[in-house]
Amino acid sequence: MIALCLDDIEGRPELNPWLAGLYVDPEFRGAGYGRQLVEELEAFAAANCIHQLSLYTSNASGLFASLGWKTVETFDEGGKQFSIMRKRLG
């Protein structure tokens, strides 16, 4: 699953809209489904005049970097480090 949403991090409206909730069942990981979901969401967003997306992740920076996303900020929460990433579309 994957979602396109607003206000994924409260108080950061300048980062809207967000790619959020990417999840692939562990049984199906490594088969390219995550990449396909991201690419489909990016295409949907671009087709709907969205020119830039943000996301945050604690463990999938490599996947997103391989798809052209850039880390713009990091933060710690609950003892975990998160990366905020952005991608310009189209």
CATH of the domain at 13: 3.40.630.30
pLDDT score, position 90: 83
For the chain, what is the domain count? 1
Phi-psi domain of 61 (left: phi exceeds 0; alpha: psi -120 through 50; beta: other)? alpha
Looking at this protein, which amino acid is placed at residue 25? D
Query: How many whole angstroms separate alpha carbon 52 and alpha carbon 89?
Result: 5
pTM score above 0.75? yes
pLDDT digits (tens, 9 = 90+) for 19-76: 999 999 999 999 999 999 999 999 999 999 999 999 999 999 999 999 999 999 999 9
Q: Which domain holds residue 41?
A: 3-88
